[in-house]
Amino acid sequence: MRLFLSFFLFPLSLFAQSGAERLTPLERSLEQRGLVDVRTAVPGVYVSLMYARPDNFVGRVLYTDLHHAYLLPETARALRKAQNALQRKYPDYALKVYDATRPMRIQQRMWNVVAHTSKNIYVSNPAHGGGLHNYGLAVDLTLCWAHDVRDRAGRLLHAAGDTTGLSMGTPIDYLGPAAHVRDEARWLRRGVLRPEHVRLRRVLREAMSAGGFRVLPTEWWHFNFKTRAQARAHYTPIP
């Protein structure tokens, strides 16, 4: 029996080690600082980091060494509350994270891209302390399907984790007035947004509010867990 168990446990230990080895030095440093992987801390959440791909507002990959979404433990606990609140009321929906903790070194890369362009108003300047993403206190996210959705014939309509059919009226990371929360009624009257877009945005805000988050007025997908004043008084930015 001991021999059998040793052979059974040995590959498991190798698997655990290989999982750790897949982390980049940056990701290991984040975990050493106490930050937690969102997928582990928030069951049922989906992750697709937009700055690890070129389809973002700067049009290039910025996260060359960051492939997992990390948050401070208290932010992750709040996100779990939001996910649970969402699933209790809307069991077909789940949260899908597009950005979480952004180390200051990556914030600097982002700032360097936009510093001399009109887009610099949307990026916090590292020289001025950065933003709440740099503290592990903010998250960018949307709604997705919690499970596969099929029609009566069994044909797949939406795969779990997909955002198809759940449009918010603009893509995530769209920098323009149609993404502003305060202007939704006006864009609805003008036909820029449809009632379903506004409904889904409100579903997202309701869930995140249940977790203690506040939406950024100019970005329907961006939610802060603390204020900048609280962050600078009680937290340390991630270098």
Structure tokens at 160: 């779990």
* Structural domain includes residue 4: no
What backbone phi and psi angles, to 5 degrees, belong to 64? -75, -20
**What's the pLDDT score for residue 10?**
39
Q: Determine what percent of the chain is predicted with pLDDT higher than 70.
A: 91
* d(C-alpha 41, C-alpha 32), whole Å: 16
What residue spans of 22-102 are helical by DSSP H?
Answer: 25-32, 38-41, 73-89
> Is residue 123 included in any domain, yes or no?
yes
Residue 159: helix, strand or coil by DSSP? coil
Q: Per the structure, how many domains does the chain have? A: 1
Asked if residue 227 belongs to a domain, the reply is: yes
The DSSP output letter for 179 is G
Taking the C-alpha atoms of residue 61 and residue 44, their distance in angstroms, rounded to an integer, is 26
Angle between helices 73-89 and 195-210 (to 10 degrees): 130
CB 224 within 8 A of CB 132: yes
Give a yes or no: residue 2 inside a domain: no
Condensed to tens digits (0 to 9), the pLDDT of residues 20-76 reads 558 999 999 999 999 999 999 999 999 999 999 999 988 889 999 999 999 999 999
- pLDDT at position 69: 98
Smallest CA-to-CA distance from 137 within 215, 82, 71, 80 is with 71
Q: What is the pLDDT of residues 209-237, one digit of tens each?
A: 999 999 999 999 999 999 999 999 999 99
Q: Is the pLDDT of residue 108 over 50?
A: yes
Query: For residue 75, what pLDDT is reported?
Result: 99
- Structural domain contains residue 16: no
Over the chain, what is the mean pLDDT?
A: 91
The confidence score (pLDDT) of residue 13 equals: 40
Residue 214: closest CA among 125, 58, 82: 82
What CATH number is attached to the domain comprising 68? Answer: 3.30.1380.10
Q: 29 in a domain, yes or no?
A: yes
Q: What is the pTM of this model?
A: 0.88
Q: What is the pLDDT of residues 83-102, one digit of tens each?
A: 999 999 999 999 999 999 99
Does 226 reside within a domain? yes
Asked whether residue 228 is domain-assigned, the answer is: yes
Per-residue pLDDT tens digits for 50-63:
999 999 988 889 99
Q: Would you place residue 14 in the very low, low, confident or very high pLDDT band (cuts 50, 70, 90)?
A: very low
Q: Give which of 113, 104, 97 is closest to 30, Cα–Cα.
A: 104
Share of residues in the chain with pLDDT > 90 (%): 81
Structural domain boundaries enclosing 128: 23-234
